[in-house]
Amino acid sequence: MTTELPDDIEQLKQMQANLQRENQVLNSKNIDLDTDNKILSAKNKKLQNSLNIALEQLKLNRKKEFGSRSEKMPKGTFNEAEENQSEESKPRVRKGRKILPEHLEREEKSYVIDTPTCSCCGHDMHECGEQISEQVKIIPEKISVIKHKQIKYACRACEATSISSSVVTASKPAQPIPGSIASPEALAAVVVAKYCDALPLYRLTDIFSRGGLEITRGTLANWCIKSAELLNPLLAVMKTHLLAQSTLCADETTIQVLDEKDRTPQQKSYMWVYRSNEYTAKPVVIYDYQPSRARRCPKAFLTGFAGYLQCDGYSVYEISMILFQLVAGLMQDVNFTMP
């Protein structure tokens, strides 16, 4: 489609002027749009920076809350004493010095004056009482050696009259790990430090090294494994007592095992925990390691249990819990309705 232009020069000039005005208006609008675009780009960049900061903070918080933690430098290593000192320095009502427990071993030290003389008259002074105060004495890791001497016995008559004579050696008590340098006290110290006080084995090697005992982490790890084997009979008794309860609690959590046969370090393993309820006179807590989170894990552990299982909404508990409740209902001779 073509537009016919007028032949009149004045009309053409007028049209040219109109087009120039429209072009100026469009240029002005284009400049305004460019300005708006720059403003929006700056705002967008600022918002993007704020978003990135928020995402990094969220990532950091999640890592602190749920990420892996290194035991080499726990939180509060350097400032724990100062933080607790500030707590102790807060004003509070004094209730007197706490009495130290009577069962602690006491070492008594007495202090006397060689020639007590009165500063007023110069006469000798006599004892009229005593002032007693107590301090706590803590001895760091004490390492000692038990030397076992097994006396050997031989028969002099056989030595004199026979070609050979027998030698009898006195026996020593059975040791927890035959052929090992670990005494029962040493095994107990390592296990308590590792599993009750959460001390890694490499820290224990450093502690023992300061005491003059050089021992490897591998040896300490072997002691822990052998100690667990020694406790199997006790574990069996605890499990029997646990499964005899009317109600139990159960839960599971992930655990990483770095060196496990036929499994990679990245695969998830699970530690299942079972315990008696809070009103049990003699509560029992048992940790059961399993390489998976399948239903067969609690089903196998709870074989023979007839009661109620308190747990979260994880689906693997559903069938097991219904079966346990059903068995409990039948044993109590009551009507039980499946949910």
pLDDT tens digits, 5-34: 777 888 888 888 888 888 888 888 888 888
User: Using CA atoms, how far apart are residues 309 and 184, in angstroms rounded to an integer?
Assistant: 37
Asked if pLDDT for residue 60 goes beyond 60, the answer is: yes
Element (H, E) at 285: strand 285-290
What pLDDT score was predicted for residue 325?
Answer: 53
Q: Left if phi > 0, otherwise alpha if psi is -120 to 50, otherwise beta: which for 68?
A: beta
- The rounded mean pLDDT for the chain is 84
What pLDDT score was predicted for residue 79?
Answer: 61
If DSSP codes are grouped into helix, strand and coil, which group holds residue 108? Answer: coil
Selection from 231, 227, 210 nearest residue 219 by Cα: 227
Per-residue confidence at 280, pLDDT binned at 50, 70, 90?
Answer: confident
User: Using CA atoms, how far apart are residues 42 and 22, in angstroms rounded to an integer?
Assistant: 30
Element (H, E) at 55: helix 9-66
Asked if pLDDT for residue 241 goes beyond 90, the answer is: yes
What pLDDT score was predicted for residue 276?
Answer: 92
What pLDDT score was predicted for residue 258?
Answer: 80
Asked if pLDDT for residue 301 goes beyond 60, the answer is: yes
Per-residue confidence at 118, pLDDT binned at 50, 70, 90?
Answer: confident
Contact between 139 and 209 under an 8 Å Cβ cutoff? The reply is no
Domain ranges across the chain:
179-230, 245-331
High-pLDDT (> 90) share of the chain, %: 36
The Cβ of residue 92 has, within 10 Å, a number of other Cβ atoms equal to: 8
For 331, what's the count of Cα atoms within 13 Å in the CB-facing half-sphere? 13
The Cβ of residue 301 has, within 10 Å, a number of other Cβ atoms equal to: 19
pLDDT tens digits, 316-326: 776 555 555 54
Per-residue confidence at 334, pLDDT binned at 50, 70, 90?
Answer: very low
> pTM of the entire structure?
0.63
Higher pLDDT, 1 or 62: 62
Contact between 255 and 270 under an 8 Å Cβ cutoff? The reply is yes
Per-residue confidence at 192, pLDDT binned at 50, 70, 90?
Answer: very high
What pLDDT score was predicted for residue 261?
Answer: 82
**Residue whose tokens read 């770095």:** 258
Asked if pLDDT for residue 100 goes beyond 90, the answer is: no
